[in-house]
Amino acid sequence: MSTRELMLLTEGRVELLARIPRSSNATFLTRVSCGHDSAYAVYKPESGERPLSDFEPGLYRRERAAYLLSDHLAWDLVPLTVTREDAPLGVGSLQWFVDCDFGEHYFTLHAEAPETYGVLSQIALFDAVTNNTDRKSGHVLRSRDGRIWGIDHGLCFSAVFKLRTVIWDFAAEPIPPNLLQDSSPLAEAVPPEVAGLLDDGEVAALQRRVQRLLREGTLPVDRTGMRYPWPLV
């Protein structure tokens, strides 16, 4: 995160440019501007959320919580994401736009074995910690500078186990010791800035998931063969 990115997302004027197609909820490409400086961002307003039976309104809070958790862990997997009360369609999340080749996604990146394996398995661990219900292949991007990012975390942090992901290639593999060490404090306490965006049951469930990962020391296995999102990409 740079000072420029933070200033533009938190203070910049938000201009709607276009609705991003094929999104379940209303998602917009925007331009954020401060003086002569501007950049693109992705805006997800609460007012554009489709009602769900298993998640309360306010999915934008989960987008913000995922960023904060990634930042707390110093994993830098999620682009800078803030909450904006004054955005054009009301309160929602505003995330720094990842400039990338959208022809690339998890499946194409995984095919570049083994160069991409480290960060992709780290995303798999992050999804296990956050209980990501919707890790499609297209939610893994590589920016122009070569960094790999995870986006679209509105369906995370449920208290009920709901992990659905395309990233099962690393199932049962040992979690690297440094990543276990990074995540181990979460077994005892979730950072207040993350916990404040979730309910008590979700916070407790996050701690239990980390405790289990620490105890088993391996990435989860899908024994049902059904824990995939749809569409896959």
15-27 pLDDT, tens digit each: 999 999 888 899 9
Q: Which residues contact 57 (CB under 8 A, 6 or more apart)?
A: 46, 49, 51
Residue 223 lies in a domain: no
- Mean pLDDT of all residues belonging to the chain: 96
| Mean pLDDT value across residues 123-132 | 98
Q: Is 133 part of a structural domain of the chain?
A: yes
| Tally of CB atoms within 10 A around 115 | 8
Q: DSSP assignment of 67-116, as one string? A: HHHHHHHT---S--EEEESSSTTSSEEEEE---B-TT--HHHHHTSTTTT
pLDDT (mean) for 92-100: 97
Cα radius of gyration rounded to whole Å, the chain: 17
In b/e form, how buried is each residue of 140-170, taking b as 16+ CB within 10 angstroms?
A: bbbeeeeebbbbbbbbbbbbeebbbbbbbeb
Residue 74 lies in a domain: yes
Q: Quote the pLDDT of residue 2.
A: 85
Render pLDDT for 35-57 as a digit per residue (tens, 0 to 9): 999 999 999 999 999 999 999 99
28-34 sheet: strands from edge to edge: 13-19, 28-34, 37-45, 92-96, 81-84
Residue 207, in any domain of the structure: yes
pLDDT bin (cut points 50, 70, 90) of residue 113 is confident
First to last CA, the chain: 27
Centre a 10 Å sphere on the Cβ of residue 12 and count the other Cβ atoms it contains. 20
**Is the residue at 224 inside a domain?**
no
Residues in the chain: 233
What is the torsion angle, in degrees rounded to the nearest 10, for the CA atoms of residue 192, residue 197, residue 203 and residue 209? -100
Domain count, the chain: 1
Secondary structure letter of residue 152 according to DSSP: -
**DSSP letter (8 states) at residue 171:** T
Using a pLDDT cut of 90, give the percent of the chain over it: 96
Residue 139 sits in which domain range? 3-216
Instruction: Judge whether residue 200 has pLDDT over 80.
Output: yes
Check whether 95 has a pLDDT greater than 90.
yes
Query: How does residue 214 score in pLDDT terms, banded at 50, 70 and 90?
Result: very high
Predicted pLDDT of residue 22? 84
User: Per the domain annotation, does 225 fall within a domain?
Assistant: no
Predicted pLDDT at 41: 98
Question: Which tokens go with 25?
Answer: 């909820």
| pLDDT tens by residue, 183-196 | 999 999 999 999 99
The answer to whether residue 222 sits within a structural domain is no
Residue 221 lies in a domain: no
